[in-house]
Structures are given as structure tokens and as C-alpha cells.
Amino acid sequence: MARLNKAQIIKNVGSSWFALGVNILLGIFLSPLILHKLGDTAFGLWVLTFSITGYYGLFDLGIRSSIVRYVSKYVAVRDQNALARLVSTSLFLYTAIGIFSLLVTLTATFYVTSLFHIPSQFSADSHWLLLIVGASVSIGFPLGISAGILEGLQRFYILNWTNIVSGLLRAAGIIYVLRQGYGILAVALITVGLPTIAAFIRCVVAFRLLATPLGLRFVDRATFREIANYGGTTFIIVISGQLRFRSDEIIIGAFLSSAAITYFNIGARIVDYAVQVVTSLAQIFVPMSSESEAVGETDRLRRIFIAGNRVCALIMFPLCALLVVLGKSVIELWVGKKYVPLSYPVLVIMLIPSTLFFCQASSGRILFGMGRHRTWAIVTLLEGIANLILSILLVRPYGIIGDALGTAIPLTCSALFFLPAHLCRQLGVRLREFVRQAYTLPVLLCLPFLAALLLMKRMQVPHTYAQLAIEVAMAGLVYALELGWAFSSKQALKVDFSSLMTEDGWSTTAVTENLPQDA
């Protein structure tokens, strides 16, 4: 498979951001609509159900990451037999997992009201809601193989466009059923049904692109062991991710109330939207890194490491500044002024460590691509356990703020004290040089943007969408001009190798390099 050229990277990233923009706009529009139509308690039940079924991601066992890793590798070395074994074995495993998760759903529906503080009038709805959402997730396991294949083939734009169409249709369906007076179950059917149809369509497209035979004769133990060796480590990271980012609503539902979930989710959802802007870009680094590792191009990995994290920071830093300065106005305009006192502190507490972590978003993807993510898995698992313990200890005395602190403290520690040093050791890069080259430019460019935001807020605190849009546009223009200079002068992607390497990280690359056109 030929490497992606610059146009292909732009196509993948551009479609990812467009899909994300559509998703965020739909979320901004639909969330308050669903919230005000259903009420705080029903909306909290909605969030709780999706948080519970989010733990079904543990059943993935790292298979999807294995598919991305090995599809890109086997395509790069043109090994069709290995591809056939990989895809057939993965599909077999996913089908078994789907059946198992459906049994778990059927069992869980009997106990949901006894485990969480759910008002009696929502008891029946809670059982059916969990059944609907859980069943769709179960079906999604075998259908989800298409996403791993398309990512491994670096055809992200196919994923993105199917998600866009599905999202628009889903929004139209939700609006219709709410206006017709239907409740939470009708909204759930629309929400999970259309993505399932989109996943089926992606399967058809993915298997046609891959053009590899399927069948039980290709399911073998050797491939299973290969998936298990790579995916087992990924599975630990998946567990850690659930503990780090998906346990909060469950803890709040167990110790506080369904309504409290709503207040927490508003702040956390805004942070999640900001993070998705970076992760939608960073996803391209897994197959790129896997391909580079497969053909022994270590210097290309270093370029991805430095320039990739710099670009992530160029996105994450201004988003952080924007939400810290204007977060109260965003919450007020989005869902209402009454949510600001509790939701804004959650936003800030979650946003700062998330910024520190996701400005390094390419680092984790490089570890996945290289297949060297075992140590990271152990550290993130410890972080997830610390998150769970701290959140439980702090949620009762400090409410949702305490739960947010339980997430923020361990995430800050791993983002500052482990991830950058670990990647630098793996790639033979000086830590001080990595920090200087990756983050000096983003910090300097963000300062005028931050100053513009503070100045305009001092002049007028926005209380309407028009006022907010004007202030964001004015500050954004300042940042856009800075970015234009950074990319036109090639400073945004420049990597200086003269002092980057450690003594055992020798490079054959010229002293100053930019990301190549086919990076």
C-alpha cells in the first residue's frame, strides 16, 4: 500500500473535523432539547444508561486496536494470507462477544433499579432503556470490525461521512419523536438504531476495499494468540479508560442522584467536545506509526512525535483558554443559567488536566502503532484505580466537584510525570528538547488569543449567542492569523534534529527537517 500523501492526510483530517463539527453542533442543539423535554431526572437516567453500556467496551478485549495495527502492517508488507486470518478470526471473536454481551444486558435489566437511585416512576423505563441500548451495543460488536479495517486502511473519511449522515438522520428522528410527545424510549430507539444501520453499510464497504477471503477455515489459534498478545495490553488501557473517563456518572448515580448526573455531565460533555477535536486528528497517527515501524523508519516516528504533538497543542491550548474564559457563558446559553454554579467548576477541573494530557495525543497513538504500549497500560491502569478510589472518597463530602477532582488529580500526574518521559525514552529523544520543540510555539501563539478573549470579556460578558459568536470570532481571527504565519513559514511542522537525539538515539536525518509530503 502506498503511503498517504499530504492531500490524503488533509482528506482524512478534514473529514474527521467536519464530522466532529456536525456532531458537536447536533449535541449542542439536541442536548438542551432532550434535557428540557424529559427533565433533569430522565436526562440523568439517559446519561447513566449510556455510561453503564459504555463499560461494554471492556468486552472488546483490545481486538479493534489489533485490527488497526495489523491491517496497516499486513497491507504495507502485502501479506494477504495474514490479512484473511486476522479479519476472519476477529470477526469470529466479535460475534462471540456480541452474544455474551447480550446475555449480560438481559441479566443487568433485572438489577438496575436496585443498584442506582432511580425514582419509582422511571423504574419500567430504566429496564427497557438498558435493554434497547445494551442490545444495540451487542449487535455493534461484529459490525464494528469495519471501523478497525477502515482505520487500518487509513480510509477515515468513509467512517466520517457515514457518521455524518447517520447523525443528521438521528437528529431529525429525535426532533420528530419529541415533538410528537414520545418519551425516552422512542428517543433511544432512534439514537441507537441509525448508527447500527450505518455500521452495516460500513461493513459492506470495508470488505470490498480489503478484498480478502473470509471463512471459518481462516480462524486459527496463531492469529488468536497474536491478537491476544497485542490486544491484551490494549485491553488494560481500555479498562483504564473506562475507570478514568466513564466511571464518574456511575459513581454519582450510586452515591448522589440521577439529577446530579445531569449537572456533572454538562461540564464534562463540553470538555469531551473539546477533546474530540484533538482525538479526531490524532487517530491518523496509529496506522502511520504502524506502517513506519513495519518498514523500520524510526526518524519518521520521531517527526510524528514532535510535530504531531505540536499540532495537537495548537488545537488544545486555545480551546482550553476559550472555555476557561467564556465557559460560564457557554453553559448559560446552552442549557440555562441555573446549571452554571455547579457545572462550570466541573468544566474547569476536568479541562485543565485533559489539556495537559491531550496536547500529547499523538504520543499514545505512536505507542499503539509501534506495539510498545505495555508500560503505558500499567500506568494508566494504576491511574484509573486511583481515579476510582479518589472519586468515591470525595463524592460524598464534596459532591460532583469531589468526583471531578478524583478524575483530575491522577490524570494530571500521568500527563506530567510519565507520558512525555516514556515516549522520549522509547524514541531516543531528549525530554527537554521535546518539550521545547513541541510546546514553545503553541504557548506563544496562544497568549495573544487569551489576551484578546480577556479584553473582550472585560468589555462585555456575553449573554446571547450573537455576543458570544462575536467575541469568539474576534479572538479566533487573531489566532487564525498566527496559525497562517506558522504554517506558511513552515514553523508549525518543523523538527530540528541537531539537539533532539540522546546519545543512543542517533539519527541519519539532516539537521533540520519538516514533515515529508507523504508523511
Question: Which pLDDT score, from 0 to 100, does residue 411 have?
Answer: 92
Nearest to 376 by CA among 276, 483, 239: 239
Measured CA angle at 458 (ends 457, 460), to 5 deg: 60
Question: Which pLDDT score, from 0 to 100, does residue 502 have?
Answer: 61
What is 398-454 written as a DSSP string?
A: HHHHHHHHHHHHHHHHHHHHTHHHHHHHHHTB-HHHHHHHHHHHHHHHHHHHHHHHH
Kind and range of the H or E run holding 209:
helix 184-210
Q: Classify each residue of 87-121 as buried b or exposed e, where b means 16 or more C-beta atoms within 10 Å of its C-beta.
A: bbbbbbbbeebbeebbebbeebbeebbeebbbeee
> Angle of helix 374-417 relative to helix 419-427, nearest 10 degrees?
120
- What is the C-alpha to C-alpha distance for residues 306 and 492, in angstroms, rounded to an integer? 10
CB 152 within 8 A of CB 293: no
Question: Which pLDDT score, from 0 to 100, does residue 510 have?
Answer: 34
Single-letter amino acid code for the residue at 276: Q
Question: Which pLDDT score, from 0 to 100, does residue 144 have?
Answer: 82
Which runs of E-coded beta strand occur in 465-517? 494-496, 512-514
Sign of CA dihedral 389, 394, 399, 402: negative
Q: Is the pTM of this model over 0.75?
A: no
With a CB cutoff of 8 Å and minimum separation 6, the contacts of 36 are: none
Nearest to 67 by CA among 50, 48, 83: 83
Question: Which pLDDT score, from 0 to 100, does residue 9 have?
Answer: 65
Q: Mean pLDDT in runs of 10 for the chain (519 residues)?
A: 54 71 76 74 74 73 78 78 86 89 84 70 76 85 84 79 86 84 80 85 85 82 80 73 76 82 88 85 75 74 88 93 93 89 94 93 83 82 90 90 92 91 88 91 94 91 90 91 88 76 49 37
Nearest to 233 by CA among 98, 59, 417, 66: 66
What is 269-290 written as a DSSP string?
A: HHHHHHHHHHHHHHTTHHHHHH
Strands 494-496 and 512-514: antiparallel
Question: Which pLDDT score, from 0 to 100, does residue 504 have?
Answer: 53
- What is the C-alpha to C-alpha distance for residues 486 and 190, in angstroms, rounded to an integer? 44
With a CB cutoff of 8 Å and minimum separation 6, the contacts of 493 are: 307, 310, 311, 487, 514, 515
Judging by beta carbons within 10 Å of its beta carbon (0-12, 13-18, 19+), is residue 384 exposed, middle or buried?
buried
Three-state SS at 378 = helix
Q: Classify each residue of 391-414 as buried b or exposed e, where b means 16 or more C-beta atoms within 10 Å of its C-beta.
A: bbebbeeebbbbbbbbbbbbbbbb
Question: Which pLDDT score, from 0 to 100, does residue 479 have?
Answer: 92
